[in-house]
Amino acid sequence: MTTSTRAEAIPASTATAAIADASLAWRRAALWGLLGAKVVSSWGVQWDIQWHTVIGRDSFWIPPHVMTYAGVVVMVMLSFGVLAGMTLRPSWRGDDVVRVLGLAGTRGFHLAAGGIALTVLAAPIDDLWHRLFGIDVTLW
């Protein structure tokens, strides 16, 4: 009577294919999450413009800012989360993986992470602009 473990019963190619499928499903879910967060953030920006036009400059914690930056936080977590996952788990990588600044991932997720990183870096510059020149909505 022989006993075999589950790892022995599954051929290596099948296990590799299952990992690749899981990685692809995870990346697709992250992509949909990025799109949803972008929609939420965009709605927040549009609401923020209307808020500043009607009410004027207010604190950082107004609802439009919370909505905008909640979307930004989700985008940061998803884009850098996928890159971290692909960097730490080489089995998740496919043929389309590139390394940028030590992070492994697809070109699309690198582009998303870079774009949202620029958005985060631009927030203090935007605040400085408002402090120096006022509300930009009224300047147009």
d(CA 15, CA 18): 5
pLDDT at position 13, please?
59
Tell me, rounded to whole angstroms, the distance of Cα 91 from its chain centroid. 21
pTM: 0.76
| Residue bearing the bigger pLDDT, 127 or 10 | 127
Q: Around 79, how many Cα atoms within 13 Å sit in the side-chain half-sphere?
A: 23
Whether residue 136 has pLDDT greater than 80 = no
Q: How far apart are CA 71 and CA 112, in angstroms?
A: 13
Q: Which residues, 6+ apart, have CB-to-CB distance to 76 below 8 Å?
A: 113, 116, 117, 120
- DSSP H helical segments within the chain, as ranges? 6-9, 12-54, 63-88, 107-133, 136-139
Q: What is the pLDDT of residues 68-99, one digit of tens each?
A: 999 999 999 999 999 998 898 877 667 778 88
Position 60, amino acid: F
Residue 10, pLDDT score: 46
CA angle 120, 122, 128 (to 5 degrees): 125
The per-residue pLDDT for range 11-54, each reduced to its tens digit, is 545 656 666 677 788 889 999 999 999 999 999 999 998 988 88
